[in-house]
DNA sequence: CGCTAACCGAGACGGTACGTCCCGTCTTTAC
DNA sequence: GTAAAGACGGGACGTACCGTCTCGGTTAGCG
């Protein structure tokens, strides 16, 4: 976020922090929460192990901080006027995110860790709700404009997001983007005026 | 299942296995995948540590086997003729399962572990698909009987299950049973003939 | 010792005992006292591990018993009238025994084990003293016959045996038989009348 | 030797190493090679078990190193001009060493271990030969000065040392110092000019 | 522009869990 | 009734990390 370093901050500190957080995320994505080893992170970041502990109290603190890093711009929000189309774009983006992005790779580790760590729990809640707000709004707009049947936007967006996360976390076949339209049809009803 | 022990099986073996698997599940639910310690399981089961390794090659093997234990009776299947009502009952059961049962408590750990372990992955896939088959069938029946709008049963059951798992895994507020009806309405359309 | 089996003894018992003791000695010679594993002995003897424990209380008891087996015929005693020559023959035999026989291979293990085990200690004492009695007698005869200078037979036989054991246990070059004559010359003085 | 620590060496390392080696020797003397447990050594040295393995690869490496410690000043060498008297002093010192010193207590364990470990074998060879060099030289001097009969100094020193080790390792009655003079008389012939 | 304080890497330290191996005891089953 | 098979609790081994610590060496940025 802060593009310019704090005046009272040592240049080396920022450099180290950045490298470590980056390495931590890679490590988490590759090895998972269980295999996440401080040694590996340090080595990967080209940094002494002590430097990790100088900046974070322990494994968990570093992990939480690294994941915080992912919290930027959950969905930049496609500029799309048609609300139903907007729903589809948001979901397609979600499909891509959970399947390919760093956060997607960390998702299982994160879900597991959040179960026991208060900070991570909060982070996951935030991430989730922020992400879904845009979707819920788009669904609401679609309902209002008559592009969708009269559903509860909140529940509908849970069902839509849910399907995507469900496929990612509970099965070995994540939702492909091309199924998004059909999914939206299923929850919001068929597109009006035979648009598809 | 088998009430009488196998003739060629040592009585102690069955006793140990039973106690250990039970302890393992407790341990997993309490400490998660990361904190799951063989020592603790052994102690909890009142058994020597070597006995664990005698029956399972390592942590992961024990874990997989313990979780297999949960795989019984995914949904005892409510005897309900009305297909839409049946969908609601299955979902309500799922809500209860993910929120309260042993498997629910283990879910985050399982999701995480499955990401890296082939056996656990398979187990989770099985568990998931078996569980959803009943739901998909019920949705199909509802559609056929005119109790639901014309949705793709497969996608609809993903959306329905998805919403429940999503709430359990990604948020700190699992889906309460009382919201199930509204969820079903959202995905399958409002109940016909103003039944509710 | 007992060549004929006790009337009340099961034939299998004697068979097992024999096979086990034999296997134990091989194991001891190959793996030493530390590496001596009951499992291996049992397997080598083609016998169940429990059978070992039925006949001996523990590792040490079996070991002691096996070594007892070696106690037969410490030195068959060469039939040799000339006492000095007899000394040489006894020493040559000792050289061969410590270098090549089963007891020789077990010697380091035995020395070590005797340090802590009362039974083995006694066994080793017996073995040692019995072996040396013949030598001491021969030295005494040599002295009496004027074949040797006037030495204390006891101390001389300790010096002679000692040299052989010393080479075997403390160095990696055991005493070769061809050095025996020189050794005897050293301790008993040069042979009289330039016999060599 | 080095009274001041190496500049590049962590103070803790020297402290740990010292404590551990000391503890290891105590342990070896008390429990023997078989009973020598890393756990016990660590505990005795007031050190974590991992510290042992940080400095030595395994049990054997530690053992070898600990024994190396004993290798200092095999015999400080009594300042004695009379060569025969010098032989007696060296032997008396050896008697004391094998009976009472740390190395003496470890001797059976060492003999046993050397049988299977290359490093220990080398150590024992070194120790033995270094120790005997002084004795052989003294015997040679005694022969040269006419204090002894014309014996092969090498074989004579083997016979002398051998008697001492033989008594220590093969019997339960180590050679007492007061028998040393008689032993020397036996091998080197009676003292000249009736000095005793 | 030189000093000092902070940061840095390297890695030792006490712990704890892992998975392996063996011991001595025991239960069960087959002959 | 004896033996084989092998499960059991226990405990040491050697490995891998954890989080803490000590150690010098470097470097930033203030004076």
Give nearest nucleotide to C61 (CA–C1').
Answer: E24
> What integer pLDDT is reported at residue C84 of this predicted model?
93
Q: C132: which 2 tokens?
A: 């040396």
Mean pLDDT of A132-154: 93
pTM: 0.81
Q: Can you read off the two tokens belonging to residue A78?
A: 């496609």
Find the residue closest to E10 using CA and C1' atoms.
Answer: A48
pLDDT at residue C29 in the model: 84
Q: Is the dihedral of CA A78, A110, A108, B94 positive or negative?
A: negative
Look at the alpha carbons of A146, A151, A152, A156 in this order and tell me if their dihedral is positive or negative: negative
Q: Report the residue of chain D nearest C131, measured CA to CA.
A: D170
Residue C196 in this model has a pLDDT that exceeds 80:
no
Is residue B118 scored above 70 in pLDDT? yes
Reported as a single tens digit per residue, the pLDDT across A12-54 is 788 889 999 999 999 988 888 888 999 999 999 999 999 999 9
Provide CB contacts within 8 A for C120, sequence distance 6+. Answer: C60, C63, C64, C67, C110, C113, C114
* CA–CA dist D61, D49 (Å, integer): 15
Higher pLDDT, B167 or D128: B167
Q: Which residue is nearest to nucleotide E30 (CA to C1')?
A: B8
Chain B interface mutation, best of A60, A166, A185, highest count of B Cβ atoms under 10 Å: A166
pLDDT number for residue D2:
41
Q: What is the pLDDT of residue C1?
A: 39
- pLDDT of amino acid B2: 39
B188 pLDDT more than 80: yes
Q: Considering only CB atoms, which residues of chain C are within 8 Å of chain D?
A: 32-35, 108-109, 111-116, 121, 124-125, 128-129, 149-152, 155-156, 158-167, 169-172, 179, 182-183, 185-187, 189-190
Q: What is the mean pLDDT of chain C?
A: 85
| Token pair listed for D195 | 């000095």
Give dist(CA B74, CA B71) in Å, integer. 6
Q: How far is CA C132 from CA B159, C87, D172, in A?
A: 93, 11, 15
DSSP string, A98-143: HHHSHHHHHHHHHHHHHTT-HHHHHHHHHHHHHHHHHHHHHHHHHH
Q: Which of C35, C123, C169, C181 best probes binding to D when mutated, by most D CB atoms within 10 angstroms? A: C169
**What per-residue confidence (pLDDT) applies to C117?**
81
The rounded distance, in Å, linking the Cα atoms of A25 and A63 is 8
In terms of CA atoms, which chain B residue is nearest residue A109? B112
First to last CA, chain D: 41
In order along its 196 residues, chain D shows pLDDT tens digits of 444 445 567 788 899 999 999 999 999 888 888 889 999 999 999 999 999 999 999 998 998 898 888 766 555 556 777 899 999 999 999 999 999 888 888 899 889 888 888 878 888 898 899 889 999 999 999 999 988 999 999 999 999 999 999 999 999 999 999 999 999 999 999 887 655 5
Given 3-state DSSP classes, what are the helix, strand and coil percentages for chain A, each rounded to the nearest 5? 75, 0, 25
Mean pLDDT of C139-152: 92
User: Residues near C4 by Cβ (< 8 Å), separated by ≥ 6?
Assistant: none
For residues C151 and C143, is the Cβ–Cβ distance under 8 A?
A: yes
Query: Measuring CA to CA, which residue among B130, B4, B158 is closest to residue B71?
Result: B130
Rounded to the nearest angstrom, the gap between the alpha carbon of residue B183 and the centroid of all alpha carbons in its chain is 20
Q: Which nucleotides of E are covered by protein (CB under 7 A)?
A: 6-30
Residue B196 is predicted with a pLDDT of 52
Percent helix, strand, coil in chain B (nearest 5)?
75, 0, 25
What 3-state DSSP class applies to A72? coil
Q: Which residues contact A173 (CB under 8 A, 6 or more apart)?
A: A167
pLDDT of residue D3: 43
**pLDDT given at position A196:** 52
* 8 A C-beta contact, residue B86 and residue B48: no
């Amino acid at each position: 976020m802060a593009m310019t370093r704090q005046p009272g901050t040592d240049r080396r500190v920022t450099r180290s922090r950045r490298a470590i957080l980056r390495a931590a995320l890679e490590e988490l994505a590759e090895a998972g929460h269980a295999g996440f080893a401080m040694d590996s992170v340090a080595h990967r970041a080209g940094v002494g192990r002590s430097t990790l502990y100088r900046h974070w109290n322990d494994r968990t603190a570093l992990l939480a901080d690294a994941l915080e890093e992912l919290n930027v711009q959950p969905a930049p929000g496609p500029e799309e006027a048609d609300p139903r189309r907007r729903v589809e774009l948001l979901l397609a983006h979600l499909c891509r995110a959970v399947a390919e992005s760093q956060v997607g790779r960390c998702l299982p580790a994160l879900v597991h860790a959040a179960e026991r760590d208060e900070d991570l729990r909060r982070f996951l809640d935030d991430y989730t709700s922020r992400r879904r707000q845009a979707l819920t709004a788009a669904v609401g707009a679609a309902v209002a404009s008559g592009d969708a049947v009269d559903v509860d936007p909140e529940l509908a967006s849970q069902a839509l997001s849910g399907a995507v996360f469900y496929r990612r976390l509970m099965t070995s076949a994540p939702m492909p983007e091309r199924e998004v339209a059909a999914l939206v049809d299923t929850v919001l009803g068929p597109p009006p005026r035979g648009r598809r």
